[in-house]
Amino acid sequence: MSHGARVIRTGVSSGGPAAPPPVTVASSSAGSDAELMDGGYFRSCAGMLKVAQMISLLIGFISVNNSSWTDYSAYSFFQIVTMCDLVMILFFYIMHIFRVYRKLTCVSWPLAEFLHYLIGTILLLIGSIAAAAKSYNITGLVAGATFGFLATILCVISMWSSYKVSCITQSTSKYR
């Protein structure tokens, strides 16, 4: 028998007892909240932008990985940055598809995604510049650097659009 601390979740706030939820609200929102996946995110601009980022990062990684290169430090840094960025973009993509942000409200997801894009874009730009500088006109390395620059541009667009939507929308809705 465990005597450790337990967390008990209730629907009661510290202000007093909570009223039972109305039946009509539960049945009307059951269609949107009961679905496991958000099918609209697949077709949204943000979802398609994330897919384009992942594809360009994957092509850049594969083209550098399958080329013969002599400067180990530049291309290993490029490979590490592209894979880490790809994994984080995939994480945020899955988080949006399965609506994890609705269940884990203790994390500021727009801020976390913005910081990921900020740091990842800077590292990806540095890695792409280093890969382009050390390519020595080898086609696979040039292609990898090119797709690295393409992914950098897509990350900047995604970062700008998420900042524009989250900050400008909040500031205009305050004065209504």
Query: What is the pLDDT tens value at each position of the chain, 176 positions in all?
Result: 455 555 555 444 444 455 555 444 444 444 455 577 888 888 899 999 999 999 999 999 999 999 887 778 889 999 999 999 999 999 999 999 998 888 888 988 888 999 999 999 999 999 999 999 988 888 999 999 999 999 999 999 998 887 776 566 555 555 55
Confirm whether 31 is domain-assigned: no
Q: Which residues are 13's β-sheet partners?
A: 16
- Provide the residue type at 1 as one letter: M
Confirm whether 69 is domain-assigned: yes
Q: Which residues are 16's β-sheet partners?
A: 13
Domain that holds residue 88: 45-174
Residue 94 and residue 47: Cα distance in Å, rounded?
10
Q: What is the pTM of this model?
A: 0.73
Number of domains in the chain: 1
Residue 148 and residue 60: Cα distance in Å, rounded?
6
